[in-house]
Structure 1
Amino acid sequence: MLSTPAREFPAALAFVVVPAPGEVAAALEERVASLEARLSDLDVDLAATAEFLPRLFLVESEYQRAMVMAR
Protein backbone atom coordinates (compact mmCIF):
# COMPACT_ATOMS: atom_id res chain seq x y z
CA MET A 1 0.00 0.00 0.00
CA LEU A 2 2.94 2.36 0.51
CA SER A 3 4.26 1.95 -3.00
CA THR A 4 0.95 2.37 -4.82
CA PRO A 5 -0.52 5.85 -5.25
CA ALA A 6 -4.02 5.33 -3.87
CA ARG A 7 -6.40 6.83 -1.35
CA GLU A 8 -5.40 4.18 1.20
CA PHE A 9 -1.96 5.76 1.63
CA PRO A 10 -2.79 7.43 4.99
CA ALA A 11 -3.93 4.05 6.34
CA ALA A 12 -0.70 2.46 5.14
CA LEU A 13 1.30 5.06 7.06
CA ALA A 14 -0.22 3.72 10.28
CA PHE A 15 1.63 0.44 9.68
CA VAL A 16 4.94 1.94 8.57
CA VAL A 17 6.66 0.57 11.70
CA VAL A 18 5.88 -3.07 10.78
CA PRO A 19 8.20 -3.66 7.78
CA ALA A 20 11.96 -3.16 7.89
CA PRO A 21 13.10 0.42 7.27
CA GLY A 22 14.72 -0.62 3.99
CA GLU A 23 11.43 -2.04 2.76
CA VAL A 24 9.60 1.16 3.66
CA ALA A 25 12.19 3.29 1.86
CA ALA A 26 12.02 1.08 -1.24
CA ALA A 27 8.21 1.20 -1.27
CA LEU A 28 8.19 5.00 -0.93
CA GLU A 29 10.81 5.36 -3.68
CA GLU A 30 8.63 3.19 -5.94
CA ARG A 31 5.67 5.42 -5.10
CA VAL A 32 7.62 8.57 -5.98
CA ALA A 33 8.79 7.07 -9.28
CA SER A 34 5.22 6.11 -10.17
CA LEU A 35 3.88 9.57 -9.38
CA GLU A 36 6.70 11.27 -11.30
CA ALA A 37 5.99 9.08 -14.34
CA ARG A 38 2.29 9.95 -14.15
CA LEU A 39 3.09 13.67 -13.90
CA SER A 40 5.40 13.41 -16.88
CA ASP A 41 2.65 11.73 -18.93
CA LEU A 42 0.15 14.42 -17.93
CA ASP A 43 2.64 17.18 -18.78
CA VAL A 44 3.19 15.72 -22.24
CA ASP A 45 -0.55 15.47 -22.80
CA LEU A 46 -1.13 19.02 -21.56
CA ALA A 47 1.65 20.43 -23.72
CA ALA A 48 0.36 18.65 -26.79
CA THR A 49 -3.23 19.78 -26.37
CA ALA A 50 -2.46 23.29 -25.08
CA GLU A 51 -1.12 24.17 -28.51
CA PHE A 52 -4.55 24.02 -30.13
CA LEU A 53 -7.15 24.10 -27.32
CA PRO A 54 -8.14 27.02 -25.13
CA ARG A 55 -7.25 26.58 -21.46
CA LEU A 56 -10.93 26.15 -20.62
CA PHE A 57 -10.76 22.68 -22.16
CA LEU A 58 -7.67 21.75 -20.16
CA VAL A 59 -9.23 22.21 -16.73
CA GLU A 60 -9.78 18.48 -16.21
CA SER A 61 -6.18 17.69 -17.09
CA GLU A 62 -4.92 20.45 -14.82
CA TYR A 63 -7.11 19.10 -12.02
CA GLN A 64 -5.79 15.58 -12.60
CA ARG A 65 -2.23 16.89 -12.42
CA ALA A 66 -2.98 18.74 -9.17
CA MET A 67 -4.43 15.57 -7.64
CA VAL A 68 -1.35 13.56 -8.60
CA MET A 69 0.89 16.26 -7.11
CA ALA A 70 -1.10 16.10 -3.86
CA ARG A 71 -0.53 12.39 -3.47
Structure 2
Amino acid sequence: MKFVIGFYVLEGIIIIICILLGYFIYDKRFNRNHGTKVSDGFQLTNEINIDPVTGDKTRVYYNPNTGERFYKKEK
Protein backbone atom coordinates (compact mmCIF):
# COMPACT_ATOMS: atom_id res chain seq x y z
CA MET A 1 0.00 0.00 0.00
CA LYS A 2 2.89 2.41 0.75
CA PHE A 3 4.25 1.77 -2.73
CA VAL A 4 0.98 2.85 -4.36
CA ILE A 5 0.76 6.05 -2.28
CA GLY A 6 4.42 6.82 -2.96
CA PHE A 7 3.87 6.28 -6.67
CA TYR A 8 0.99 8.79 -6.80
CA VAL A 9 2.91 11.34 -4.71
CA LEU A 10 5.87 11.04 -7.07
CA GLU A 11 3.57 11.44 -10.09
CA GLY A 12 2.05 14.55 -8.51
CA ILE A 13 5.47 16.08 -7.92
CA ILE A 14 6.52 15.38 -11.50
CA ILE A 15 3.33 16.99 -12.85
CA ILE A 16 3.84 20.11 -10.71
CA ILE A 17 7.47 20.42 -11.88
CA CYS A 18 6.39 20.09 -15.52
CA ILE A 19 3.73 22.77 -15.11
CA LEU A 20 6.20 25.17 -13.49
CA LEU A 21 8.84 24.53 -16.15
CA GLY A 22 6.28 25.05 -18.89
CA TYR A 23 5.16 28.32 -17.38
CA PHE A 24 8.54 29.88 -16.63
CA ILE A 25 10.73 28.46 -19.41
CA TYR A 26 8.61 27.62 -22.42
CA ASP A 27 5.73 30.09 -22.14
CA LYS A 28 6.83 33.34 -23.74
CA ARG A 29 4.03 35.30 -22.13
CA PHE A 30 5.88 35.14 -18.80
CA ASN A 31 8.41 37.80 -19.88
CA ARG A 32 6.09 39.64 -22.19
CA ASN A 33 7.03 43.21 -21.32
CA HIS A 34 10.52 43.78 -22.69
CA GLY A 35 11.01 47.35 -21.53
CA THR A 36 10.65 50.83 -22.95
CA LYS A 37 13.48 51.05 -25.51
CA VAL A 38 12.79 49.35 -28.83
CA SER A 39 15.92 47.81 -30.36
CA ASP A 40 17.06 48.45 -33.92
CA GLY A 41 15.41 46.35 -36.62
CA PHE A 42 11.97 46.24 -35.01
CA GLN A 43 9.00 47.63 -36.91
CA LEU A 44 5.81 48.99 -35.43
CA THR A 45 2.73 46.80 -35.97
CA ASN A 46 -0.96 47.62 -35.62
CA GLU A 47 -1.29 45.23 -32.68
CA ILE A 48 -2.22 46.74 -29.33
CA ASN A 49 -3.15 44.59 -26.35
CA ILE A 50 -5.20 46.11 -23.53
CA ASP A 51 -5.14 44.53 -20.07
CA PRO A 52 -8.80 44.25 -19.01
CA VAL A 53 -7.98 44.64 -15.30
CA THR A 54 -5.53 47.56 -15.27
CA GLY A 55 -6.32 49.09 -18.68
CA ASP A 56 -2.61 49.19 -19.60
CA LYS A 57 -1.81 49.18 -23.31
CA THR A 58 0.99 47.06 -24.76
CA ARG A 59 2.20 47.84 -28.28
CA VAL A 60 3.73 45.04 -30.38
CA TYR A 61 6.86 45.49 -32.53
CA TYR A 62 8.15 42.91 -35.00
CA ASN A 63 11.61 42.15 -36.38
CA PRO A 64 11.21 40.70 -39.90
CA ASN A 65 14.81 39.43 -39.97
CA THR A 66 14.55 37.22 -36.88
CA GLY A 67 10.79 36.82 -36.45
CA GLU A 68 11.10 38.04 -32.87
CA ARG A 69 8.37 40.15 -31.27
CA PHE A 70 8.90 43.01 -28.81
CA TYR A 71 6.22 44.13 -26.35
CA LYS A 72 6.35 47.73 -25.07
CA LYS A 73 4.00 49.09 -22.43
CA GLU A 74 2.48 52.45 -23.28
CA LYS A 75 1.01 55.00 -20.92
Whether TM exceeds 0.5 here: the answer is no
Greater RCO between the two (CA within 8 Å, min separation 6)?
A: 1
More strand by share: 2
The TM-score by the shorter chain falls in which range? Answer: 0.3 to 0.5
Name the TM-score, length of structure 2 as normaliser. 0.38
More helix by share: 1
Greater C-alpha radius of gyration: 2
Name the TM-score, length of structure 1 as normaliser. 0.40
